[in-house]
């Protein structure tokens, strides 16, 4: 993860933009369409705003995204969903194939609720170029987490797809993870007790807000790129790209920008990184975020604090009248 000086002020040099994007961004999440068939209590979709007509991303936005990623040889995680259900629209097969052609070395991934899975669909996804599929086990609306429900749901998916599930761990009333035996792609299923581990999604789900305000820094705004089906780009996966409550948090729209790099290194995105690298209390949608810092370095906190003192503190001092 790159945390140098150029991350905290607008960067306009195209060559440097591309070099730093390739160096620091390891996960890209993109919604190719809007629809989700579920209304889970621990998801902002609980209000049902994704149950209307399915709206696909404009071809011009999708093509611009792939153009930019192909130009830098992007080869890390590329996730084809966000708050939608990716397998609802079988056009996802074309999007996977196009992404694979543009990014031969990327790890193309999907997170699905599993409702549309069939043996033939799995074969088609693998043939299109999908590397990994995560089948999330969701509860019925209004239900509480139950290990028995989860195990029955995994058994149902296993029966429907003809794939055997091999359990990796079972933590009672907490989480269950298993892998399906399929030779053509990696396929995992997971259930999480969101009453324990849920996120309030930028304040949209206040029942899941933690008691204490967040002070931890955040690595997502340095390493992730999230774009909704409208082309709106947001700082992280916990902010909805199309909800009016989060409209002011959108950092750009690819339909109007020249490139994804101009958005990621623009003034709005730089401001988010300035506000999330320190150990002080956070504000806005980050004030109640419980997402952990996901960094492998043992001294990550010291490194981020050092970068804050060197690069951000002087900017804050300049801005103080």
Average pLDDT over residues 198-221: 93
d(C-alpha 69, C-alpha 63), whole Å:
10
Say if CB 166 and CB 181 are below 8 A apart: yes
Average pLDDT over residues 268-276: 97
Say if CB 214 and CB 287 are below 8 A apart: yes
Query: Is residue 320's pLDDT more than 70?
Result: no
Q: How confident is the model at residue 319 (pLDDT cuts 50, 70, 90)?
A: confident
Query: Domain 5-319 class?
Result: alpha beta
d(C-alpha 106, C-alpha 171), whole Å:
32
pLDDT of amino acid 26: 97
Q: How confident is the model at residue 321 (pLDDT cuts 50, 70, 90)?
A: low
SS3 state of residue 175: strand
pLDDT digits (tens, 9 = 90+) for 178-192: 999 998 899 999 999
Say if CB 212 and CB 202 are below 8 A apart: no
Predicted structure pTM score: 0.95
Under DSSP, the state recorded for 109 is E
| E-assigned strand segments in the chain | 27-30, 77-79, 107-112, 132-136, 165-171, 175-180, 186-192, 224-227, 232-234, 252-253
Nearest CA to 213 out of 269, 157, 282 is that of: 282
Nearest CA to 30 out of 269, 281, 260, 256 is that of: 260
Among positive and negative, which fits the CA dihedral 115, 118, 124, 130? positive
Mean pLDDT rounded to a whole number for the chain? 96
Among positive and negative, which fits the CA dihedral 169, 173, 175, 177? positive
Buried b / exposed e along 110-123 (16+ C-beta atoms within 10 A): bbbbbeebeeebbe
Comparing 12-16, 101-105, 195-199, the range with the smallest average pLDDT is 195-199
pLDDT digits (tens, 9 = 90+) for 165-180: 999 999 999 999 999 9
Domain-by-domain residue ranges, the chain? 5-319
Strand 27-30 to 224-227 pairing: parallel
């Amino acid at each position: 993860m790159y945390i140098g000086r150029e991350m905290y002020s607008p960067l306009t040099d195209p060559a440097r933009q591309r070099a730093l994007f390739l160096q620091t961004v390891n996960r890209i999440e993109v919604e190719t369409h809007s629809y989700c068939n579920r209304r889970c209590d621990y998801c902002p979709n609980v209000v049902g705003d994704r149950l209307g007509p399915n709206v696909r991303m404009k071809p011009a936005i999708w093509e611009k995204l792939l153009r930019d990623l192909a130009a830098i040889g992007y080869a890390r995680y590329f996730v084809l969903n966000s708050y939608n259900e990716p397998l609802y629209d079988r056009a996802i097969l074309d999007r996977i194939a196009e992404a694979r052609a543009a990014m031969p070395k990327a790890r193309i991934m999907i997170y699905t609720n599993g409702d549309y899975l069939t043996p033939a669909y799995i074969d088609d996804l693998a043939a299109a170029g999908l590397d990994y599929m995560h089948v999330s086990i969701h509860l019925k609306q209004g239900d509480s987490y139950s290990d028995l429900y989860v195990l029955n749901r995994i058994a149902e998916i296993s029966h429907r797809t003809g794939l055997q599930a091999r359990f990796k761990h079972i933590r009672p009333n907490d989480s269950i993870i298993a892998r399906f035996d399929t030779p053509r792609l990696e396929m995992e299923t997971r259930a999480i007790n969101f009453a324990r581990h849920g996120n309030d999604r930028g304040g949209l789900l206040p029942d899941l807000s933690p008691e204490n305000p967040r002070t931890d820094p955040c690595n997502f705004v340095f390493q992730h790129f999230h774009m909704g089906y409208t082309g709106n780009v947001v700082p992280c996966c916990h902010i909805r790209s199309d909800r009016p409550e989060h409209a002011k948090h959108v950092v750009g729209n690819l339909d109007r920008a020249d490139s994804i790099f101009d958005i990621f290194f623009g003034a709005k995105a730089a401001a988010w990184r300035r506000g999330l690298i320190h150990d002080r209390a956070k504000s806005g949608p980050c004030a109640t975020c419980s997402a952990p810092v996901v960094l492998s370095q043992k001294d990550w906190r010291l490194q981020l604090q050092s970068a804050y003192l060197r690069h951000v503190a002087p900017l804050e001092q300049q801005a103080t009248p």
